[in-house]
Amino acid sequence: MNARLVRTVLGLLALLALNMLLPRALNPYFFQILILCGINVILAVSLNLVNGLTGQFSIGHAGFMAIGAYTSAVVSMRVLPGLLDAMTAAGVPLAVGHGVILLLATLVGGALAALAGLAVGLPSLRLRGDYLAIVTLGFGEIIRVLILNIDAVGGARGLSGVPNYTNFFWVGLWAWIVIAVSYHLLGSTHGRAMLAIREDEIAAEALGVPTTRYKVTAFVVSAFFAGVAGALFAHYLSYLNPSTFTFLKSIEVITMIVLGGLGSVSGAVLAAVALTILPEALRAVKEYRMVIYAMLLIVLMITRPQGLLGTGELKMPWSRKKAAPMPTESAS
């Protein structure tokens, strides 16, 4: 337990140090790609909880991201500026004040996304089969059209002027949290219950796993982190537009976790980073960019249909010996 506290503190310090260092060391273009990598990691790893570990098929992740993005933006733009003024007046450093506002906005955005997840998941996850896919597909579109028609958040014009509070520290911290939560779950009886549902729902139920409760819980947690990713996204770009959160965004996240290997946390991380960098790296070949992107995906699907890592995990030299949650077919 003590070693864990030390690890946590060291990790936080490292994040703070990198937060100071990176914006100066990298040019703004690379730094932006780095931040987007982090946000996509949060999205992919959180979706992996539902699609990868619990074996349900959700295709509405962009909807939850949108809820988190818009809610947090409204919170920090309309509700909390007063708090920032009060904190500055009380002598709190500006960076800390921004951090507090961002944290609160992120939590509210995540909470609302989680609530939406509960509302969507409760009816559709009681059933077995593809109902969730259909419902989440509809849900994502409903959210987008809803935002498009709410004038208070800019409608089709988009919402500009979101305070630019997201930095490397917060993106890194949340990515760390969602990855840690995934691994912790995998090492616990609750994560195993999720895997059991993926493997055989009827057997899981017969062995005493309350399947509906686990499916809904995983879905709500996943929605929360999608909301968090949305909030970080909003406070990084300072501008939101409903067209960012289309069905295609959801598919993009699904592509990441399928490519990484459904169920593999490190695979999701790896693929999220790769698929964020790849389109940028391919800018050099201009009009062939999307052709090559698609071709690479097809080649990967043919050569590694189980995804980059299959259901296995990358073994880090520093990972503890007992952290072998899955029977790894060695990740060659």
Partner 1 sequence: MNQQAGAALSLDHVSIVFGGLKAVSDLCLDVHPGELVGLIGPNGAGKTTVFNLITGVYMPTSGTIRFGETVLNGRRPHTICHLGLARTFQNTRLFAGLSCLDNVKIAAHQHAKSSYWDGMWATPGSARDERAIDEKARLLLDTLSLSDVADTRAADLPYGRQRRLEIARALATDPKLLLLDEPAAGMNPQETDALMHLIEDVRKRFALAVLLIEHDMKVVMGICQRIAVLDYGVKICEGEPAMVRRDPSTIRAYLGEDVA
- Tell me which residues touch partner 1 (CB under 8 A): 1, 181, 184-185, 187-193, 195-196, 199-200, 202-211, 217, 221, 311, 326-327
Helices (H), the chain: 2-25, 28-47, 61-74, 81-89, 94-124, 131-148, 168-186, 189-199, 201-206, 211-237, 247-260, 265-281, 289-303
Structure tokens given for 12: 């936080």
How far is 246 from 239, CA to CA, in rounded Å?
16
Residue carrying structure tokens 């309309």: 78
How far is 134 from 217, CA to CA, in rounded Å?
19
Closer to partner 1 by Cβ: residue 7 or 157? 7
Closer to partner 1 by Cβ: residue 51 or 217? 217
Min CB(185)–partner 1 separation in Å:
5
Min CB(27)–partner 1 separation in Å:
37
* 18 neighbors 168 (Cβ within 8 angstroms): yes
Closer to partner 1 by Cβ: residue 2 or 27? 2
How far is 257 from 46, CA to CA, in rounded Å?
10
How far is 225 from 34, CA to CA, in rounded Å?
19
Closer to partner 1 by Cβ: residue 33 or 115? 115
Min CB(135)–partner 1 separation in Å:
22
How far is 138 from 166, CA to CA, in rounded Å?
30
Min CB(180)–partner 1 separation in Å:
8
Closer to partner 1 by Cβ: residue 91 or 327? 327
Closer to partner 1 by Cβ: residue 190 or 289? 190
* 236 neighbors 26 (Cβ within 8 angstroms): no
* 309 neighbors 264 (Cβ within 8 angstroms): yes
Min CB(204)–partner 1 separation in Å:
7
Min CB(186)–partner 1 separation in Å:
9
